[in-house]
Chains A and B, each alone.
Chain A
Amino acid sequence: MEHVFIVALIIGGTALLSLPLGAWMKMAMDPAPGQMTGWTSLFGRIGGATEEQGWKRYLVTMLIFNAIMFTVTFTILGLQQYLPLNPDGMGPHDPTLVFNTAASFTTNTNLQHYSGEASMSYLSQLAGLMWLQFVSAATGIAALAALARGIAGRASLGNFMIDVQRASFLVLLPLALIVAMLMVLMGMPMTLQGSAVATTLEGVTQTIARGPVAAFLTIKQLGTNGGGFFGPNATHPLENPSFWTNGLAMIAIMLIPMACVWMFGGILGRMKHATVIFAVMALFILVKITGSVTFESAPTPAFAELPVSTDTGNLEGKELRFGATGGPLWAVLTTSTSNGSVGAMHDSLNPLTGLMPMAGMWLNATFGGVGVGMINMFLYIIVAVFVAGMMVGRTPEYLGHRIEAKEVRLAILALFSHAFLILGPTALFAATSLGQATVQDPGAHGFSEILYEFTSAAANNGSGFEGLGDGTWAWNIATGVVMLLGRYLPIILPLAIVGSLMAKRRAAESAGTLGVEDATFGTMLGLTVVIFGALTFLPAAALGPLAEHFSLP
Chain B
Amino acid sequence: MAQHQNTSIFSAELIGPAIRDSFNKLDPRQLIRNPVMFTTASVALLATVLLVRSIISGGDIAFEAQIVFWLWLTVLFGNFAEALAEGRGKAQAASLRSTKAELKGKRVKGDTVKVVPASELRAGDIVLVETGDQIPADGEVVEGVASVNEAAITGESAPVVRESGGDRSAVTAGTRVISDWIKVRVTAEPGEGFLDRMISLVEGASRAKTPNEVALTVLLTGLTLIFLIAVSTLPAFAAYAGGSISIPILVALFVALIPTTISALLSAIGIAGMDRLIRFNVLAKSGRAVEAAGDIDTLLLDKTGTITLGDRQATDFLPLSGVREGELIEAARLSSLGDETPEGRSIVELAGAGETAPAGAEMVSFTAQTRVSGIDIGDRKIRKGAVDAILKLHDFDQGAVRQIRTLTEKIARTGGTPLAVADGTRLLGAIALKDIVKAGIKERFAELRRMGIRTVMITGDNPLTAAAIAAESGVDDFLAEATPEDKLELIRKEQSGGKLVAMCGDGTNDAPALAQSDVGVAMNTGTQAAREAGNMVDLDNNPTKLIEIVGIGKQLLMTRGALTTFSISNDVAKYFAILPAIFVALYPGLDALNVMGLSSPQSAILSAIIFNAVIIPLLVPLALRGVTYCPQSASRQLVRNLGIYGLGGLIVPFVGIKLIDLVVSGLGLA
Q: A residues touching B (Cβ–Cβ < 8 Å)? A: 383, 386-396, 400, 403-405, 407-409, 412-413, 415-416, 419-420, 423-424, 426-428, 430-431, 435-436, 443-444, 446-447, 450, 505-508, 510-515, 518, 520-521, 523-524, 527, 531-532, 535-540, 542-543, 546-547, 549-552
A383-B219 in contact given A392-B637, A520-B635, A543-B586 (Cβ < 8 Å): yes
The reply to whether A395 and B294 contact each other, CB–CB distance below 8 Å, is yes
- Bound CA–CA A409/B215 (angstroms): 8
A386-B215 in contact given A394-B557, A427-B236, A515-B634 (Cβ < 8 Å): yes
The reply to whether A390 and B557 contact each other, CB–CB distance below 8 Å, is yes
Contact of B589 among A447, A540, A550 (CB under 8 A): A550
Measured between beta carbons, the chain A residues less than 8 angstroms from B659 are none
- Bound CA–CA A387/B219 (angstroms): 10
The reply to whether A520 and B638 contact each other, CB–CB distance below 8 Å, is yes
The reply to whether A512 and B587 contact each other, CB–CB distance below 8 Å, is no
Measured between beta carbons, the chain A residues less than 8 angstroms from B634 are 392-394, 511-515
Q: How far is the CB of A528 from chain B (nearest CB, A)?
A: 9
The reply to whether A536 and B229 contact each other, CB–CB distance below 8 Å, is yes
Question: Which 8 A-B residue pairings sit nearest by Cβ, starting from the closest?
Answer: A512-B452, A390-B561, A393-B554, A550-B589, A412-B222, A510-B452, A511-B452, A427-B236
The reply to whether B211 and A550 contact each other, CB–CB distance below 8 Å, is no
Measured between beta carbons, the chain B residues less than 8 angstroms from A535 are 571-572, 575
Within 8 A of A (CB), among B276-311: 291-292, 294-295, 297
A408-B222 in contact given A444-B587, A508-B497, A510-B297 (Cβ < 8 Å): yes
A391-B229 in contact given A430-B240, A511-B633 (Cβ < 8 Å): no
Measured between beta carbons, the chain A residues less than 8 angstroms from B595 are none
Stretch from B165-173, B455-463, B639-647 contacting the other chain:
B639-647
The reply to whether A550 and B592 contact each other, CB–CB distance below 8 Å, is yes
The reply to whether A413 and B633 contact each other, CB–CB distance below 8 Å, is no
Measured between beta carbons, the chain B residues less than 8 angstroms from A511 are 449-452, 633-634
The reply to whether A508 and B236 contact each other, CB–CB distance below 8 Å, is no
A413-B222 in contact given A430-B237, A512-B633, A535-B571 (Cβ < 8 Å): yes
Chain B, residues 560-590, CB within 8 Å of chain A (1/0): the string is 1110110011011001000110010011111
The reply to whether A404 and B215 contact each other, CB–CB distance below 8 Å, is yes
Q: How far is the CB of A336 from chain B (nearest CB, A)?
A: 22
Q: How far is the CB of A517 from chain B (nearest CB, A)?
A: 9
Residue with the greatest number of chain B CB neighbours at <10 A, chosen from A409, A413, A508, A551? A508
The reply to whether B211 and A416 contact each other, CB–CB distance below 8 Å, is no
The reply to whether A393 and B222 contact each other, CB–CB distance below 8 Å, is no
Measured between beta carbons, the chain B residues less than 8 angstroms from A527 are 569, 646
Residue with the greatest number of chain B CB neighbours at <10 A, chosen from A394, A443, A450, A518? A394
Measured between beta carbons, the chain B residues less than 8 angstroms from A400 are 498
A392-B638 in contact given A540-B237, A550-B590 (Cβ < 8 Å): yes
Contact of A531 among B216, B222, B297, B569 (CB under 8 A): B569
Measured between beta carbons, the chain A residues less than 8 angstroms from B452 are 510-513
- Bound CA–CA A396/B294 (angstroms): 11
The reply to whether A536 and B240 contact each other, CB–CB distance below 8 Å, is no
Contact of A408 among B219, B231, B586, B592 (CB under 8 A): B219
B368 sits at the interface (CB 8 A): no
Measured between beta carbons, the chain B residues less than 8 angstroms from A396 are 212, 215
The reply to whether B561 and A512 contact each other, CB–CB distance below 8 Å, is no
Contact of B212 among A390, A436, A538 (CB under 8 A): A390
Measured between beta carbons, the chain A residues less than 8 angstroms from B238 are 543
- Bound CA–CA A537/B588 (angstroms): 20
B94 sits at the interface (CB 8 A): no
30 contacts between A and B (CB under 8 A): A383-B219, A388-B642, A393-B294, A393-B629, A394-B295, A395-B211, A404-B212, A408-B216, A408-B219, A423-B230, A424-B233, A430-B240, A506-B498, A507-B498, A507-B499, A508-B497, A508-B498, A512-B297, A515-B634, A520-B642, A523-B642, A531-B572, A535-B575, A538-B230, A538-B575, A539-B575, A543-B237, A543-B238, A543-B587, A549-B589
The reply to whether B223 and A388 contact each other, CB–CB distance below 8 Å, is no
Q: How far is the CB of B102 from chain A (nearest CB, A)?
A: 42
Measured between beta carbons, the chain A residues less than 8 angstroms from B239 are 430-431
Residue of chain B at shortest CB distance from A418:
B226
The reply to whether A391 and B561 contact each other, CB–CB distance below 8 Å, is yes
Residue of chain B at shortest CB distance from A444:
B587
B47 sits at the interface (CB 8 A): no
The reply to whether B229 and A423 contact each other, CB–CB distance below 8 Å, is yes
Chain B, residues 532-567, CB within 8 Å of chain A (1/0): the string is 000000000000000000000111011011101100
Q: How far is the CB of A430 from chain B (nearest CB, A)?
A: 4
Measured between beta carbons, the chain B residues less than 8 angstroms from A514 are 634, 638
Residue of chain B at shortest CB distance from A430:
B240
B500 sits at the interface (CB 8 A): yes
Contact of A512 among B223, B451, B642 (CB under 8 A): B451
